[in-house]
């Protein structure tokens, strides 16, 4: 039981404590119950549905990141990395494992930052491709930050389910089964989002230092 409560706390605190919004000047979304507003959201009464919605939203965000990631890799001439990103998007679209995709996405973001740091002699065509690839990549990263609503909904339903378990321990197995995916996302989601933002910032900084034109206003306008 303590493990479940810890994950809920992680969801509510760690996700909002990252500095992803300030790094890219994103507007932090208002989340009822977490950001001090008084709006109340109705419980659907079905934690499994909330977990499924969270997984669906995460899957959509990961697909967007993978597709944009492919463009970044192609701009740097990393054809193998681009192929892997495209394959990841296809796999996710066909119901592939989300947990594995989270780890692959984080590793790929680190690789992008490394490519940007190491490749300091980009030709004009590569710079043009990179300038075109960065806005959709940052837009995809921003999309992951918008998981906050689904994460909050899941947190509410999970806490309600745990209250039921405290009064009826026989429901524990059912709760574990229905919430396992949501709990996994709650545990790994904040790290994914922070990792994408951190490495995305490194990518943009390196690209700018190499003369790649990245218009902050254009990026913000694409979100």
3-state SS track over 52-116 = HHHHHHHHHHHHHHHHHHHHHHHHCCCHHHHHHHHHHHHHHHCCCCHHHHHHHHHHHHHHHHHHH
Q: What is the C-alpha separation between 209 and 206, in angstroms, rounded?
A: 5
Q: CB of 84 within 8 A of CB of 108?
A: yes
Q: Is the pLDDT of residue 178 over 90?
A: no
Q: What is the pLDDT of residues 105-142, one digit of tens each?
A: 999 999 999 999 888 788 999 999 999 999 999 999 99
Give the 3-state secondary structure of residue 1: coil
The whole-number pLDDT of residue 75 equals 94
Instruction: Report residue 81 as tokens.
Output: 């990395």
The whole-number pLDDT of residue 164 equals 77
The whole-number pLDDT of residue 83 equals 97
Q: Is the pLDDT of residue 39 over 50?
A: no
* Nearest-10 crossing angle of helices 98-118, 47-75: 30
Of the listed ranges 9-18, 66-75, 95-104, the least confidently predicted one is 9-18
Compute φ and ψ for 34, nearest 5 degrees.
Answer: -115, -25
Residue 28 DSSP label: P
Q: Is the pLDDT of residue 5 over 50?
A: no
Q: Is the pLDDT of residue 210 over 70?
A: yes
Q: Is the pLDDT of residue 34 over 50?
A: no
User: The pTM is what?
Assistant: 0.75
Most confident of 19-28, 71-80, 213-222: 71-80
Q: What is the C-alpha separation between 139 and 207, in angstroms, rounded?
A: 17
Q: What is the C-alpha separation between 205 and 220, in angstroms, rounded?
A: 16
**CA neighbours closer than 13 Å in the CB half-sphere of residue 182:** 29
Instruction: Report residue 71 as tokens.
Output: 């463009």
Q: Is the pLDDT of residue 101 over 50?
A: yes
Q: Is the pLDDT of residue 155 over 90?
A: no
The whole-number pLDDT of residue 125 equals 93
Q: What is the C-alpha separation between 24 and 46, in angstroms, rounded?
A: 35
The dihedral formed by the CA atoms of 60, 147, 203 and 112, expressed in degrees to the nearest 10 = -40
């Amino acid at each position: 039981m303590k493990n479940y409560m810890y994950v809920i706390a992680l969801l509510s605190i760690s996700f909002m404590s990252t500095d992803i919004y300030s790094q890219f000047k994103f507007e932090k979304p208002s989340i009822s119950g977490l950001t001090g507003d008084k709006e109340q959201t109705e419980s659907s009464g079905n934690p499994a549905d909330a977990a499924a919605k969270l997984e669906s939203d995460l899957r959509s965000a990961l697909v967007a990141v993978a597709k944009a990631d492919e463009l970044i890799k192609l701009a740097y001439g990393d054809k193998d990395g681009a192929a892997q990103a495209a394959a990841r998007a296809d796999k996710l679209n066909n119901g592939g494992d989300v947990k594995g995709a989270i780890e692959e996405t984080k590793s790929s973001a680190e690789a992008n930052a490394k490519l940007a740091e190491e490749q300091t002699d980009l030709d004009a065509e590569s710079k043009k491709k990179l300038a075109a690839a960065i806005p959709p990549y940052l837009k995809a990263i921003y999309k992951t930050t918008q998981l906050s609503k689904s994460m909050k909904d899941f947190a509410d339903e999970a806490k309600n389910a745990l209250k039921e378990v405290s009064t009826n321990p026989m429901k524990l197995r059912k709760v574990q089964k229905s919430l396992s995916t949501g709990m996994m996302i709650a545990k790994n989601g904040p790290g994914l989002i922070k990792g994408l933002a951190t490495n995305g910032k490194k990518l943009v900084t390196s690209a700018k230092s190499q003369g790649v034109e990245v218009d902050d206003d254009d990026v913000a306008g694409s979100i």
